[in-house]
Structure 1
């Protein structure tokens, strides 16, 4: 029998323990590098690219003195340490956070200091998608400029919106369009931008909404606008644009809103406008349009607002407008329209507002207008209308002061309705001899008899009646 020494036994036990623990040691050793890698990635996801961070700080220091931006926000893209008005997203090709949206001008967003000017380096933020400046540039004159070198990186910019910036002056640089191919929304309104609309605007193939309203733009509407096939909203109102509206406007097949009001536009409304089958809103008021409206205007079945006040049209009211079944507002005031109010207007069942004042309309008011259940504003004043107003007391009460038929000398009101309505500024009809009884607003109003007729009692007659009644009492 062979005896095993105590030393050999201890060695054997040690080897067996090592063999039993080996799998656990292996897992521990292999897991350690993976844990270190994860920690590094998470740390990276909370930080910005250093050059992008530096550009962001430069922009904030140029625009706003609300904070000491570098000290107050050492990691501005981290959700727990960011400010209102900034949005960031994790990059798709790296593990950094990147600025995607910046808002300035009104609290709680960063406000702009009086000396702030437009920061052209904002276009160097490579992942920026949306920029908003509202009431930001109000003291120091500035222009909308882009970098002159090739450092422009914001090819991903989709929305550029500058509203209510009275110190924003100068013209629109064509480079703005050529360097921002992804732009979908461009709003440069309520500023003092001047000059012409650059033809290069046609390069914005993705543009959906264009608003250049309330500026000092001059010149023609460029024919190149017709190339913006994705355009849904076009607002060029309150400028000093001249010339006629180009026929290429009819190529904007997706257009839903067209506002060219308050300019110096001339000529007739282009025939091609009848092709805008998606149009819901059109405003051409306060211009110098004249001549006939396109007959095909009746094909715009989705049209809800047609506003054409204050144009020297000098034509008869088009009967075809009565085919626009979805029309809610029809404003054709002060435009020299003549002839009768078409009876087809009574078919506009969705109409809420009808403004035809200060024209040369003749004839009677269509009876069917009183059946428009949704109308709440009706102005037919200052025309040449005649006959009896065909509205019952329910209609008169519902509209109240929102009904104006004054300034039509040959228009009168049914005597039976003369006591339940507000002042309309017209005479009461005398059905017995087709003459007027008197003004509704006069001191002595017509009286109703038991038969429902109206008897006029003069002031001398009233005097003797009251005198006799007084003598009788005493």
Structure 2
């Protein structure tokens, strides 16, 4: 029987068939079946990942960009497939596109661990031809050879770019190209700390998807375009440290979602536009170091989200706005060196979140309103170089808490309670009755002060009387 089995037709079957039969028999075991169910998808997935690569034309564009920007390593040879799993190519991110192929979605240059930029690097306009690129960053890249932002003759009509950041590039000069308006998906545009010149092209304000626009620390000139109002999705606007002129455009009132506004260190003039009251989401406003003047808009009290208001070094020459005292979230106010006159509004002592107030180098007169020492978060108060008079209405614990962060110097008519002379650091104010040049205090001033010197004067009178009585007894 065994001999007949050996001579049976099974031995003449193809090898592949016998292998499949063997596998079927092995799968009859439950443990073997479980093993194959677990390992087979992983093997298939790994095979697919290794075999899939980005389109050759896109890879070639990427290699050209890398060759022009960085000499850290031979990118073309060391990373022939940049989006492959496990690739150690720094500064690159890839995503799978609708064609199920990997595509470059992000590039970073300049800051470690990303590729460094070689001294001869120039702006690579080929980045605008990468069809799926969403974010690109150049930090401290262009430092020696002058380069400009240039768009290719035929940029991608439907660019995917959402974030373009060129920051701290001292050799990046020239104008902002109007063709930047072709980047319709752009949400974040940062061109800060470069040497860009010329006017801001109105085309920038056709990018209606913009959420953040930062053109600070350049050499931009001209007026802020009226088209600014088109960016009704804008949350952050920073045009500081340029040479912009003209008025703050009234169309700024259309930026209803704006939270940060920084126009400081320019040459803007005129008054703050009335429509600023519509910026109800604004939490940070910096208008320092300009040529702004005139009365504040009455509606400024509607900015109930405002936390930081910086407007020092402007030729305002008006009384301080009482309305600022009605902004409960205010934490920092800087209004020094702006020619403000009149008294310090008492409403400022109601700002319970206030941490820093600077009113230095103005023409403020009258007494310091009592109540600042009741504000729990104040750590910096500068009232120096004004025309303030009267007794400093702060208790000793407040004086000790602020220490050197309290500056009252340059107010000849202001004096400190004698009881606090040796318990606090120098505040810049003389001690009441000690300086012969101090302005005489009216009776009402002493009466209103919560820490007045009346007890000091009573003790002086008692000592003098006692001394005179003792001298009289000796003479007898």
Q: TM-score, normalised by structure 1?
A: 0.84
**Structure 2 residue 385 is the aligned partner of structure 1 residue 382:** yes
Query: Which residue is 2:151 aligned to?
Result: 146
Query: Which residue is 1:61 aligned to?
Result: 67
Distance 2:218 2:462 in 1: 60
5+ long unaligned stretches in structure 1 = 1-5, 29-33, 438-445, 458-474
Query: Which residue is 1:333 aligned to?
Result: 336
Aligned length: 430
Q: 1:203 aligns with which of 199, 202, 206?
A: 206
Distance 1:332 1:246 in 2: 22
Query: Which residue is 2:414 aligned to?
Result: 411
Q: 2:288 aligns with which of 277, 285, 288?
A: 285
User: In the superposition, relative to structure 1, how do residues 268 and 420 fare at CA in structure 2: closer, same or farther (>3 Å)?
Assistant: same
1:225-265 Cα offsets, whole Å, 9 max, x none, are 10001000000000000000111000000000000000000
User: In the superposition, relative to structure 1, how do residues 336 and 39 fare at CA in structure 2: closer, same or farther (>3 Å)?
Assistant: closer
Contact between 1:174 and 1:201, CA under 8 Å: does it hold in 2? Answer: yes
Shift of 1:348: 0.4
5+ long unaligned stretches in structure 2 = 25-39, 441-452, 465-476
**Structure 2 residue 323 is the aligned partner of structure 1 residue 350:** no
**Structure 2 residue 115 is the aligned partner of structure 1 residue 110:** yes
Contact between 2:304 and 2:329, CA under 8 Å: does it hold in 1? Answer: yes
Query: Which residue is 1:91 aligned to?
Result: 97
Mapping of residues 71-470 of structure 1, within 5 Å? 71-94=77-100, 96-148=101-153, 150-152=154-156, 155-177=159-181, 179-430=182-433
Distance 1:413 1:380 in 2: 14
Which stretches of structure 1, 4 residues or more, deviate above 4 A after TM superposition?
A: 34-40, 433-437, 448-457
Contact between 1:125 and 1:154, CA under 8 Å: does it hold in 2? Answer: no
Contact between 2:161 and 2:185, CA under 8 Å: does it hold in 1? Answer: yes
Q: 2:49 aligns with which of 29, 42, 47?
A: 42
User: In the superposition, relative to structure 1, how do residues 450 and 262 fare at CA in structure 2: closer, same or farther (>3 Å)?
Assistant: closer
Shift of 1:391: 0.7
1:369-392 Cα offsets, whole Å, 9 max, x none, are 111110111000000000000111
User: In the superposition, relative to structure 1, how do residues 212 and 453 fare at CA in structure 2: closer, same or farther (>3 Å)?
Assistant: farther
Distance 2:289 2:55 in 1: 52
Distance 2:50 2:461 in 1: 91
Shift of 1:425: 2.2
SS of residue paired to 1:367:
coil
Contact between 1:124 and 1:154, CA under 8 Å: does it hold in 2? Answer: no
Shift of 1:92: 2.5
Distance 2:458 2:343 in 1: 35
Distance 2:44 2:170 in 1: 52
Shift of 1:41: 3.7
